[in-house]
Structure formats: structure tokens, C-alpha cells
């Protein structure tokens, strides 16, 4: 009795599953420094646009949404970087950074910003961000080839 040959779909299923699990594991790692830095930033009053933010993201394309935390820093004292930590499907976490061009708005004490980052092919490629922030409210739109939506964030309470 000869064994039936495995279908092409079955031969591809295992490598695809393995690659997907490896990617998910990669997305789950590298979070400890974000959590530590974000919690540390919560201990200090906000300085301008810098510091910890907390809220949600929502896709205008498919309605997917989740918790979103952000830490805006100035690592070189010049440019701004938004470090994001997003939850997806309630169980997946994804962290990434976006360099931001920030402009103060002299009329009302707020800031406008824009930036872009390539999150990789698996995450949808290049995302572009544009938004504004006051000392306690942060809103941004995001756009990529496959998705677009909104970020709505606020300052978290100051931690003891």
C-alpha cells in the first residue's frame, strides 16, 4: 500500500504556521523596556508633548480596535520619537517607534505632528501619521496601503 502524496496546501501549511508563530513571538518581545519606561514616565508631570499617553486605536476600514499606549521622547534632545505599544485582538501586542516632526501651535499651546514608519510587510508596510496634541489630549490619524484609522489618547494618571 502506497502512502498518498501530500497536497501542496498541506506542504505549505506547516512553514506558514511556523513563520506566523515566529512573527507573533517577535512582536511579543522587546516590551519590557517599553513598559518600564512608560511606567517611569507616569511618575512625572508631562512636559509638553513628551511623556506617557494611554488610549485606543480604531481601524476605519474594518473596525478592529484595541488599547494603545504611547511614550513620546526626545532621545537626542532635538527630534521626537513616538514609541507605541498596541494591543490587537485583545491578546496580541505590537511595539514600534515613529520619528515625529513636531510643530508648536503658538495660538493655543498645542502641537501638530507628522511622521512615518515602515512596520514591515507582515504588519502592512509603511504607515503615515498626522495629528495634534494638547497637554492632555492626543489624536492622530494613520494611513497605510491596507488600513487607515484613528488614535485617541489621553494622559494617564500620575503613578505613585
The domain tally of the chain equals 1
- Whether the CB-CB separation of 117 and 102 falls below 8 Å is answered with no
1 part of a folded domain? no
- Position 115 confidence tier, pLDDT thresholds 50, 70, 90: very high
Provide the b/e sequence for 108-131 (b: ≥16 CB within 10 Å): eebbebebbbebeeebeeebebbb
Cα separation values, 115 from 25, 32, 79, 102, 118, Å: 27, 24, 11, 9, 11
133 part of a folded domain? yes
The predicted structure's pLDDT at residue 53? 97
The predicted structure's pLDDT at residue 108? 79
51 part of a folded domain? yes
Q: Tell me which residue range forms the domain holding 77.
A: 32-154
159 part of a folded domain? no
Residues 77-102, mean pLDDT to the nearest whole number = 92
Residues 72-91, mean pLDDT to the nearest whole number = 91
CATH code (residue 139): 2.40.128
Residue 18 has pLDDT above 80, yes or no: no
Summary mean pLDDT of the chain: 83
Residues 8-14, mean pLDDT to the nearest whole number = 45
Q: Is 11 exposed, middle or buried (0-12, 13-18, 19+ CB in 10 A)?
A: exposed
- Whether the CB-CB separation of 54 and 84 falls below 8 Å is answered with no
In terms of Cα–Cα distance, which of 93, 92, 99 is closest to 114? 99
84 part of a folded domain? yes
105 part of a folded domain? yes
55 part of a folded domain? yes
23 part of a folded domain? no
Residues 27-47, mean pLDDT to the nearest whole number = 79
Amino acid at each position: 500500500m502506497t502512502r498518498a502524496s501530500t497536497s501542496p496546501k498541506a506542504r505549505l501549511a506547516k512553514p506558514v504556521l511556523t513563520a506566523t508563530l515566529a512573527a507573533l513571538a517577535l512582536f511579543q518581545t522587546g516590551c519590557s523596556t517599553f513598559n518600564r519606561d512608560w511606567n517611569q514616565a507616569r511618575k512625572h508631570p508631562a512636559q509638553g508633548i513628551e511623556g506617557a499617553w494611554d488610549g485606543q486605536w480604531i481601524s476605519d476600514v474594518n473596525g478592529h480596535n484595541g488599547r494603545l499606549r504611547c511614550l513620546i521622547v526626545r532621545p537626542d534632545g532635538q527630534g521626537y520619537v513616538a514609541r507605541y505599544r498596541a494591543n490587537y485582538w485583545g491578546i496580541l501586542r505590537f511595539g514600534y517607534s515613529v520619528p515625529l516632526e513636531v510643530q508648536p501651535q503658538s495660538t493655543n499651546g498645542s502641537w501638530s505632528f507628522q511622521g512615518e514608519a515602515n512596520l514591515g510587510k507582515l504588519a502592512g508596510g509603511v504607515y503615515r501619521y498626522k495629528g495634534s496634541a494638547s497637554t492632555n489630549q492626543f489624536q492622530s490619524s494613520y494611513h497605510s496601503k491596507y488600513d487607515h484609522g484613528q488614535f485617541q489618547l489621553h494622559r494617564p494618571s500620575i503613578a505613585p
